[in-house]
Structure 1
Amino acid sequence: MIALGIATASVIMFVGTGGTLMPQIARAWFWGGSAPDMLLINAVLLNIALLLFGWRRYRDLHAEVEVRRRAEERARELAERDPLTGCLNRRSGPPAMENLRRSVAETQREIAVMMIDLDNFKQINDLNGHQMGDTVLSTVARRIADVLPDEAILARIGGDEFACALPFDYHAREDVDDIVDLVIRTVSAPIEANRLTVEATVSIGVAQSGRAYEPQQVADAEALIHRADIAMYHAKKRGRNRYYWFEPQMEDELRFRNELEAGIRQGIAADEFVPFYEQQIDLETGKLSGFEMLARWKSPRYGIVSPEIFIPIAEEIDLISELSERLIRQALEDAKDWDPGLTLSVNISPVQLRDPWFAQKLLHLLVESGFPPARLEIEITESCLHENIGAVRSIVSSLKNQGIRISLDDFGTGYSSLSQLRSLPFDRLKIDRSFVAEMAAGGEGRTLVEAIISLGKGLSLPVTAEGIESDEVLGQLKGMGEMKGQGYLYGLPEDASTTRDRLARLGMLKDTSVSVSAEAVQALHPQRRAS
């Protein structure tokens, strides 16, 4: 404005001085009149210079302001848009959704907020590289945007999380179901880039506005995103590649889960997780042959918690390795004084087998405790064989080389092949308890158990039957050949102190080691004696 004012003033001054000077110059040139005043000439020349300077300065400043305006627009766009996918980001998405909610609040429509999370995106990144991961994200975002209605808002909330809001008629919630189904089908189509092909799936949670859940309170966009996120987590827990509408009880479940997570973290630090021991019996002789270590959580708040509850959570929050190592260390200490003929079996999580240093960590625990490797048996499940067979083979071979025995646990419930059983150096098959339980009901369990036992004989692999809970089942198993067995028929799992007392009565501690008869074992199982 100052530059423009200087230019304008120069124009006015030029008109004033030029109006006097120009006639004098014309008379001097054409009619021989007197020369104009030099002071006046200098004033005009100076005026012309100021005019040129002011106009040029004004034009430069105008260009500078335009560049700055474009830069501010670009900065605003970067602040509101995700540069990879072009979607709104976490900062701008929720306000836009809130504006949409308010705009339809006075009509018969509501908005549905969807939280969309890519399943196993970390694995896609790790296996195919971050460039392919970026391609997957941008492709998924484009596919989602293509199937959403024009009024919908799409935002990238996190690394592999998207949120979108779309209006719908209160009485036509099935329209949202159709769109969500279309999103799932569209996203799951193969993505090809850089001579690679990736198939991505999504888990979706959906929440609606209005007073459907809290009649006295209308949820804003942030609350709807939170509810949709809870429903999305529920979808992941139910198997992924699906969607769920938010229900109030989901929030209660998530709150309880968060409390369990906090309790597990505190419990590990406070040594609240302890090993229990379940007896393993030679079915032919009735003698005690060893124990399987089972984890228990002695929580001051929840009491004795089963591993079926806390193990999956510990795996998800990446604490299973620390928890397992603490339990194994304690179990090795407990078992050092047992009779040298007794074995100790411990279960290993699939998460631990992804750790290339797992074998070294386990060997370190053995050296630290002085426990003989030949008395230790590691149990892995069939599901481990399908995640990374190469890594599993390397770890299993390393453990075998140190004298540790390896059992394939829950055999029959997974998809292991004969080639895997032949290529991996297993020492034992454990029949899943579900097949053993079916034997008592007269179903197909007996046929399956016989087939597994026959397979074990053909591969020279001893067999252990889990879940023996009745004499009827025990009698059937005895007729199928030599094997070990375990189950509640022989008593519930016991803590270290009770187990030690049991072994002391049997004379199966190192300092009182004697042979044990089948009658002595029978004497410790009153429920069997009564039957």
Structure 2
Amino acid sequence: MTATPKPFDRSEGAKRDIIAGGIVVAAILLFVGTGSNVMQAAVRALIGIGGGPDRALATALILNVALILFGWRRYKDLNREILERTEAEQRARYLADTDPLTGFLNRRALLATGQRQIANAIADKRQVALFLLDLDHFKTVNDIHGHAAGDRVLQVAAERISAVLPPNATKARLGGDEFVAMLAFEPAARADIDALAAELVAALDNNVTHDSQQIRVGASLGISLASDASITMETMVRQADIAMYHCKDEGRNRFCWFEAGMEMAVQVRNQIETGIRDGMPRGEFIPHFEPQVDIASGRLIGFEMLMRWESPEYGMIPPERFIPVAEESGLIGELSLQVIREAMEIAKRWDPSIMLAVNISPQQLKDPWFSQKLTKLLVEVGFPAAQLEVEITESSLFENLPLVRSIVTSLKNQGVSLSLDDFGTGYSSLSHLRALPFDRIKIDRSFVAAMRGSPDAQAIVVAIVRLGESLAMPITAEGVEDEATAIELTRLGCSKGQGWYFGRAASAADTDRLLADRGLLRAPMVPPAGPDVSEDAPLRKTA
């Protein structure tokens, strides 16, 4: 068994140094005392008037010289050791205070130095602004391009932040893709802080080159203000973080100052996120089904799955309240597949002619394994791929078209149908239709709803219908709410429609009863789950 080495004891080393120093001092004193006698006896012996130095004194002199040489060497060693220890302590302090990737301060050092900076600024009747920057879509960079590309993006971001900020600004990386900058300013110069924040956002919006790839991230920036010495660094960072998330909610790639009302919004958001995490294993998220019909004949041909949250504490929560939170927190992928699984289990009871349409979140299309996950789900449930239609919103195609092409092509090869949802609300629609193997186009409900009162909206609907005919892609109209709209769509040649005129989203039990009445249910109905409380809930789509 190997013995554990004893740790270095500074007190023992100091004691040895004191003893060695005492010995050297004594040796010098003895050298002075004996050296003069020995030298005088030696000189007399040389001139022939004496018998030479005493042997004992000569021996003592030699020992004194040896001790002095030992002391000198120990002195040199001690100086070198002190220098090495000082340099090691400086390196350790630097490493303890510095982020190794960017050279900025780390969180611990920021909290310590930042508090002093606030106190000094307030004493000089100045204020302190704290910027908290978070790179937009940084997780996607790591997922798609790898962690080496992510590190490169962080380093370039740090370089751009340093180039924009004045030399006296305090810069730190909190961790991940979050950066902090602090600087003192005169109260009348707040407009300069706004200009600096805008310049930072613009600088971080430029592409980063890595291995011949152009990576774009952008940044959201929150600003908190210290105008008196009572505020702590922890509070400033938290307030700037709240403001930064407010920027993300407002559309990202911008900056905003912290305001008191934002804190309440964050508390509500956190409650919703906690509710989602707790509610998923309890099965609180359930599918509802909105009918899709052949407009000309009124024949039922499918359902679009819409998600609902039946919270035991808050009741029925509309999708627009929790879907954005699920997307921001990264929960949407797991949540979506959980509800899709339940919808497939329900749809297995339907007649094979009835399609199940599911709407996929843009966040899921950033997952390179999404196609495999959905295919695995089809196999596990035993649901026919030919009976499933995946709806993809046009806005989700902008960020990484090659990845989306890979995902939808894989799904298409499995026999899944693909629909381009909300067509006309995005950009480069024709290029997307050429690049991706879609089976159907869905006209956004905003155009359908405005069609009767707006010639422009009607012209857009006509153009989309004619485009679908030329590409041999059937058209589905969303948001059909009255008979007149249905008649007009039929006249224009739109084949498929959905909306309140044909039926609102209903629970699984109500959907089974509807199918049973039309002879389209292959298995017995599920027991009623109580009254459907979602009839008046907003019908925002989600997967």
TM-score (norm 1): 0.89
Among 323, 327, 332, the alignment partner of 1:320 is: 332
- 2:470 alignment partner AA: G
- Secondary structure of 1:86's counterpart equals coil
Q: How far off is 1:194 after superposition? A: 6.5
Q: How far off is 1:24 after superposition? A: 1.1
Q: How far off is 1:248 after superposition? A: 1.2
Does 1:5 pair with 2:22?
yes
- 1:180 alignment partner AA: A
- 1:404 alignment partner AA: V
Among 153, 171, 181, the alignment partner of 2:198 is: 181
- 1:73 alignment partner AA: Q
Percent identity between the two aligned chains: 49
Q: Which runs of 5+ in 1 are unaligned?
A: 212-216, 513-531
Q: How far off is 1:130 after superposition? A: 4.5
Q: How far off is 1:336 after superposition? A: 2.6
- CA deviations on 1:315-364 (whole Å, 9 max, x unpaired) are 33333232222222222222233333322211122333344443444344
Q: How far off is 1:108 after superposition? A: 2.6
2:534 is matched with none
Among 94, 98, 101, the alignment partner of 2:118 is: 101
Q: How far off is 1:379 after superposition? A: 1.4
Most deviating of 290-299 and 408-417: 408-417
- 2:126 alignment partner AA: R
Q: Which runs of 5+ in 2 are unaligned?
A: 1-17, 525-543
Q: How far off is 1:5 after superposition? A: 2.8
Native 8 Å contact 1:296 1:306 kept in 2: yes
Which residues in structure 2 correspond to 1:139-150 (within 5 Å)? 139-150=156-167
Among 448, 466, 472, the alignment partner of 1:454 is: 466
Assess, with a 3 A threshold, how the Cα gap between structure 1 residues 172 and 399 changes in structure 2: closer, same or farther.
closer
Assess, with a 3 A threshold, how the Cα gap between structure 1 residues 299 and 166 changes in structure 2: closer, same or farther.
same
Does 1:381 pair with 2:393?
yes
- 2:154 alignment partner AA: L
Most deviating of 453-462 and 327-336: 327-336
2:225 is matched with 208
Q: How far off is 1:417 after superposition? A: 4.0
Does 1:249 pair with 2:266?
no
- 1:6 alignment partner AA: I
- CA deviations on 1:8-58 (whole Å, 9 max, x unpaired) are 221111111112221111111112421221111111111111111112112
Native 8 Å contact 1:337 1:510 kept in 2: yes
Q: How far off is 1:427 after superposition? A: 1.8
- CA deviations on 1:243-299 (whole Å, 9 max, x unpaired) are 100011111111111111111111110001111011112111122222111111111
Assess, with a 3 A threshold, how the Cα gap between structure 1 residues 390 and 136 changes in structure 2: closer, same or farther.
closer
1:22 is matched with 39
Most deviating of 286-295 and 183-192: 183-192
Assess, with a 3 A threshold, how the Cα gap between structure 1 residues 118 and 364 changes in structure 2: closer, same or farther.
closer
Native 8 Å contact 2:24 2:68 kept in 1: yes
Native 8 Å contact 2:476 2:494 kept in 1: no
2:317 is matched with 305
- Secondary structure of 1:441's counterpart equals coil
TM-score (norm 2): 0.87
1:293 is matched with 305
**Distance (whole Å) between structure 2 residues aligned to residue 193 and residue 485 of structure 1:** 46
Among 64, 72, 93, the alignment partner of 1:76 is: 93
Most deviating of 66-75 and 131-140: 131-140
Among 186, 197, 211, the alignment partner of 1:169 is: 186
Assess, with a 3 A threshold, how the Cα gap between structure 1 residues 26 and 153 changes in structure 2: closer, same or farther.
same
- 1:228 alignment partner AA: A
Native 8 Å contact 2:127 2:225 kept in 1: yes
- Secondary structure of 1:440's counterpart equals coil
- Secondary structure of 1:27's counterpart equals helix
Assess, with a 3 A threshold, how the Cα gap between structure 1 residues 478 and 131 changes in structure 2: closer, same or farther.
closer
- Secondary structure of 1:219's counterpart equals coil
**Distance (whole Å) between structure 1 residues aligned to residue 226 and residue 84 of structure 2:** 42
**Distance (whole Å) between structure 2 residues aligned to residue 193 and residue 426 of structure 1:** 32
Assess, with a 3 A threshold, how the Cα gap between structure 1 residues 340 and 248 changes in structure 2: closer, same or farther.
same
**Distance (whole Å) between structure 2 residues aligned to residue 51 and residue 220 of structure 1:** 58
Number of aligned residues:
507
1:516 is matched with none
Native 8 Å contact 1:3 1:55 kept in 2: no
Q: How far off is 1:309 after superposition? A: 2.7
Most deviating of 200-209 and 241-250: 200-209
Does 1:484 pair with 2:496?
yes
